[in-house]
Amino acid sequence: MQIQKNISIKQFNTFGVDVKANLFVELKNENFLNELFSSVNEIPNRFILGGGSNVLFTKDFNGIIIKNLLPGIEKIGEDNNFVFIKTGAGVNWHKLVKYSIKNNYWGIENLSLIPGTVGAAPIQNIGAYGQELKNVFHQLETFDLQNNQFKTFAKDECKFGYRDSIFKKEFKNRFLITSVTLKLSKKEDAILTYQPVKEEIDRLKINKPSISQISEIICNIRRSKLPDPNKLGNAGSFFKNPEITEKKYLELKKANNDIKGFKTENNKYKISAGWLIEKCGWKGKRVGDVSSFEKQALVLVNVGKATGKDILDFAESIKEIVKVKFGIELKEEINIV
């Protein structure tokens, strides 16, 4: 295990922001955790990095970045209906999706092509196309950076919410996730609630889509809507979709009949942050080397050599203008460092 000094992490974040970390280490084997954290005991500033697809670095990182590369996908149990799949936190998320499709294990096909690692998936309870990680989650294993001990978290302990978990709140930066175990279904369990997926299935005249057909449809929709981080720096949705009261929603609906929103379990209305940004005239808008993506206003892109600070300033301007026009406060989905 080699600790590198003063290295650029441009290639390790999908915004392609060029900042330096004064210490950087790749973690490939969990047996080294004790050794690693004993040796960096006196460095208080530590950051666990996966694929860097949900993070914005705004300045050089003064501390140690631990790039999680813990490997392995393993079936650790099963019954008539379910399998339990334990995966190393450093495994690429879509690789796990492909494994589950190959084996006909249902549950994560709707989460196809989400960038990043398996270990980061529980942090914000990744979700897309009618599915969320929490619905297939069993447990995860961690290394506690405060007392250098391993600890397992059951589903309830993770306090999953909309793009949220305990690891974004009171346990932020405290636990390094080493593996995640999912409970996937051996029996067909298609989730076809998302309108564009349904439409595509109808268009293709598929009667009963297979797990691989669903994944393929979702990959195609994603490729047509979202920028590829390998070609255009971005971190997906920059903001969460805000939840507002029914009164506020009806007020907005009266003035804007094209507003997109749906009722949540807690009797609020979740509305599209992309729609709010678009209505403020910021879809496709560019300032310097930062732009809101032309096909999806919620995605901010680095069109050249934008710094993290440039992207943050752009995001602040969006927040301000949405607040003034609609009285709604947007909250970041991505992690700002």
Ligand X SMILES: Cc1cc2nc3c(=O)[nH]c(=O)nc-3n(C[C@H](O)[C@H](O)[C@H](O)COP(=O)(O)OP(=O)(O)OC[C@H]3O[C@@H](n4cnc5c(N)ncnc54)[C@H](O)[C@@H]3O)c2cc1C
The catalytic residue positions are 163, 237, 333
Pair type for strands 335-336 and 296-302: unpaired
Distance CA 145, CA 123 (A): 16
Nearest distance, CB of residue 170 and ligand X, angstroms = 14
Give min distance, CB of 122 to ligand X, in A: 9
Taking the complex as a whole, the smallest distance from the CB of residue 233 to ligand X amounts, in Å, to: 9
Output the CA–CA distances (angstroms, integers) from residue 157 to 28, 89, 90, 145, 308, in the order listed: 27, 18, 22, 18, 33
**CA nearest to 43, candidates 10, 27, 9, 66:** 66
Select 128 or 166, whichever has its Cβ closest to ligand X. Answer: 128
Q: Which is nearer to ligand X, 252 or 301 (CB)?
A: 301
For the record, the structure tokens of 19 come out as: 């900042």
Residues 6+ apart with CB under 8 A from 131: 107, 108, 110, 111, 191
Instruction: Compute the least distance from the CB of residue 92 to ligand X, in Å.
Output: 8
Within 10 A of 170 (CB to CB), how many other CB atoms are there?
8
Q: Which residues bind ligand X (CB under 6 A)?
A: 14, 47-55, 68, 89, 114-117, 119-121, 123-124, 126-128, 176-177, 226, 229, 234-236, 335
Per the DSSP assignment, residues forming a β-bridge with 82 are 185
- Of residues 104 and 335, the one with the C-beta less far from ligand X: 335
CB of 120 to ligand X, least distance (A): 3
Rounded Cα gap, residues 273 and 297, in angstroms = 8
Residue 45 or 245 having the CB closest to ligand X? 45
Identify which of residues 105 and 171 has a Cβ nearer to ligand X in the complex: 171
> In angstroms, rounded to a whole number, what is the distance separating the alpha carbons of residues 241 and 272?
5
Residue 44 DSSP SS3: coil
